[in-house]
Amino acid sequence: MSKSRNRLLRAATAALLGLVVSGCAHVQPWERERLAAPEMAPEGPALIADYRRHIAQSKEAARIAGGSSGSGCGCN
């Protein structure tokens, strides 16, 4: 491996390590309440999760009951 390529590899590794480390942040106790809001949860608010579950169940029921795919709107 040539010296210039070795230097480039080290520089790229250092830059990548710098990006990874800079993504870490200390959260103050008074900031944690905002991060713990229901909107920040991975699955979202409970109402949205229930709505998505209802849509998925409607689509599955429409597809299985008729033998062919339906609209899945849940208005059957």
How many Å from the N-terminal Cα to the C-terminal Cα in the chain? 69
The answer to whether position 52 is within a domain reads yes
Predicted pLDDT of residue 13 = 93
The single residue listed with the structure tokens 């709107």 is 73
What is the spatial distance between Cα 41 and Cα 35, in angstroms, rounded to a whole number? Answer: 9
User: Band of the pLDDT at 3, cuts 50, 70, 90?
Assistant: confident
Which of these, 22, 28, 53, 49, lies nearest to 38 by C-alpha position? Answer: 49
The answer to whether position 73 is within a domain reads no
For range 32-53, the mean pLDDT: 76
The separation between CA 13 and the C-alpha centre of its own chain, rounded to angstroms, equals 27
Model confidence, pTM:
0.32
- Coil, helix or strand for 44? coil
The answer to whether position 13 is within a domain reads yes
The answer to whether position 53 is within a domain reads yes
Per the structure, the complete domain to which residue 33 belongs is given by 3-66
Q: What is the tally of structural domains in the chain?
A: 1
